[in-house]
Amino acid sequence: MEILSSGQRLSVYSDMRWPLKTGIGNVMTAMVERKPSRMNLVGLEVKGSIGSPFSPFAISRALRRSAADRDGVYWSAGFVPPAVMHIPSVVTVHDLTHLRFYSRFHAAYYNYYLKPLYRLCSAIVCVSDYTRREFLEWSGMSPNKVSVVYNSVDRIYLENQEAAQLPYRYVLYPGNHRSYKNLQRLISAYAASVLPQRDIHLAMTGDVNQTLVEHARRAGVESRLHFLGRVNDEDLPKLYKGALFVAFVSLYEGFGLPIVEAMASGVAVLTSNVSAMPEVAGNAALMVDPYSIKDIALALDRLAGDTVLRDELVARGREHVTRFDWDLSAQELWGIIDHVYRAV
């Protein structure tokens, strides 16, 4: 998509409160780093917590102060639109987990407050075709206002050649411990697999989770379950590289960044056959029914015991992951913002 012609300047106002080292924060950082020079990015001074239900009002107040001439575009790397659209607005929707796995309050907030605001936006950006289809069905928005810009993978995963040296062989789960990540079933499947007998451990990022520890204790695999704490950006690619393979059998993802991070690291992937994960994984991962402990356990056994299969998935992954490039994603996003401004 064509960007502004030479000499023109476009002010893009953005809520920059998204925490770094989070999914949305990483997207924001990647896009800002690749901003065209003709775009003037203005970080809004928004008061309060970004997760507050009153955040759209705080954004609107900040916009009214910063964009007094009502010229420019508002862009958010996350899901929060302004309550009043003083200027055209572009908002990225990563998933609809709040409708599925959070409280009734969260669902009501989306259904009765955010949905009408999304419909007022000039454009919505979704991070996968799956999320776009789900969003269109839920929101009722015109399809020509909802686009797909894939998340991508940082080059550090492609360039890293160093593997973490843990004192055991391990399968890696990289991610948070929210309920829909399906970690209790993963632990149960691990316990039912041959991996514990082969002294292949299960390693998870994040702090010790006592609920998961108790679950592992009941399953008889507590000694082989490890929590690696909050891993910094420099060490995470090494953890991927050192893994026998990655197990990411979530119940729901709008994208599923660990899938492509593992592929970029040259590691085989076990993932789920639901939501956006088949789209992101393509033919470069072994997929299972995440609701079936038996299916997950059989897949764990298969990947642990079949070197040929792991090597084949690694080769496919290295080719497949080239689709997910931040330079291309940023070009598409800033092109959408430019198009929105021109259409006013």
Q: Looking at residue 189, which CATH number applies to its domain?
A: 3.40.50.2000
Angle at 263 between CA 301 and CA 173, to 5 degrees: 55
Residues 206 and 141 occupy one common structural domain: no
Any idea which of 17-21, 171-175, 270-274, 276-280 has the lowest mean pLDDT?
17-21
From 209, 178, 165, 202, select the one nearest 300 (Cα to Cα): 202
Look at residue 5 in the predicted model and tell me its pLDDT: 45
Whose tokens are 């939501």? That residue is: 275
How large is the average pLDDT for residues 55-81?
93
Reported as a pLDDT band with limits 50, 70 and 90, residue 344 is: confident
Measured distance CA(267)–CA(248) in Å, rounded = 12
From 60, 59, 123, 64, select the one nearest 90 (Cα to Cα): 123
Indicate if the pLDDT at residue 67 is higher than 90: no
Residues 118 and 27 occupy one common structural domain: yes
Average pLDDT over all residues of the chain: 95
Note the pLDDT tens digit of each residue in 223-245. 999 999 999 989 999 999 999 99
| Within-domain flag for 246 | yes
Residues 216 and 176 occupy one common structural domain: yes
Note the pLDDT tens digit of each residue in 124-167. 999 999 999 999 999 999 999 999 999 999 999 999 999 999 99
Residues 144 and 172 occupy one common structural domain: no
Residues 216 and 252 occupy one common structural domain: yes
| Within-domain flag for 22 | yes
Measured distance CA(45)–CA(43) in Å, rounded = 7
Look at residue 8 in the predicted model and tell me its pLDDT: 67
Reported as a pLDDT band with limits 50, 70 and 90, residue 209 is: very high
| Within-domain flag for 331 | yes
Look at residue 70 in the predicted model and tell me its pLDDT: 83
From 38, 31, 32, select the one nearest 10 (Cα to Cα): 38
Indicate if the pLDDT at residue 6 is higher than 70: no
Residues 305 and 218 occupy one common structural domain: yes
Residues 161 and 205 occupy one common structural domain: yes
Tokens of 49: 């917590």
| Within-domain flag for 5 | no
| Within-domain flag for 217 | yes
| Within-domain flag for 1 | no
Measured distance CA(87)–CA(67) in Å, rounded = 8
Indicate if the pLDDT at residue 3 is higher than 70: no
Contact 266, 317 (CB under 8 A): yes
Look at residue 1 in the predicted model and tell me its pLDDT: 38
Residues 58 and 104 occupy one common structural domain: yes
Indicate if the pLDDT at residue 4 is higher than 60: no
Alpha carbons within 13 angstroms on the beta-carbon side of residue 301 total: 12
Residues 192 and 313 occupy one common structural domain: yes
Residues 217 and 229 occupy one common structural domain: yes
Look at residue 68 in the predicted model and tell me its pLDDT: 78
The range of the structural domain enclosing residue 30 comes to 10-152+325-342
| Within-domain flag for 3 | no
pTM: 0.93
Indicate if the pLDDT at residue 260 is higher than 90: yes
End-to-end CA distance of the chain: 17
Reported as a pLDDT band with limits 50, 70 and 90, residue 51 is: confident
How large is the average pLDDT for residues 211-229?
98
Reported as a pLDDT band with limits 50, 70 and 90, residue 104 is: very high
Tokens of 313: 């998935």
* Total structural domains within the chain: 2
Reported as a pLDDT band with limits 50, 70 and 90, residue 38 is: very high
Which run of H or E residues covers position 204? strand 200-204
Q: What amino acid is encoded at 166 in this protein?
A: L
Residues 162 and 292 occupy one common structural domain: yes
Q: Which residues have CB under 8 Å from 301's CB, separation 6+?
A: 193, 194, 195
| Within-domain flag for 284 | yes
Residues 252 and 129 occupy one common structural domain: no
* Ramachandran bin of 289, using left for φ above 0, alpha for ψ from -120 to 50, beta for the remaining angles: beta
Reported as a pLDDT band with limits 50, 70 and 90, residue 115 is: very high
Indicate if the pLDDT at residue 95 is higher than 80: yes
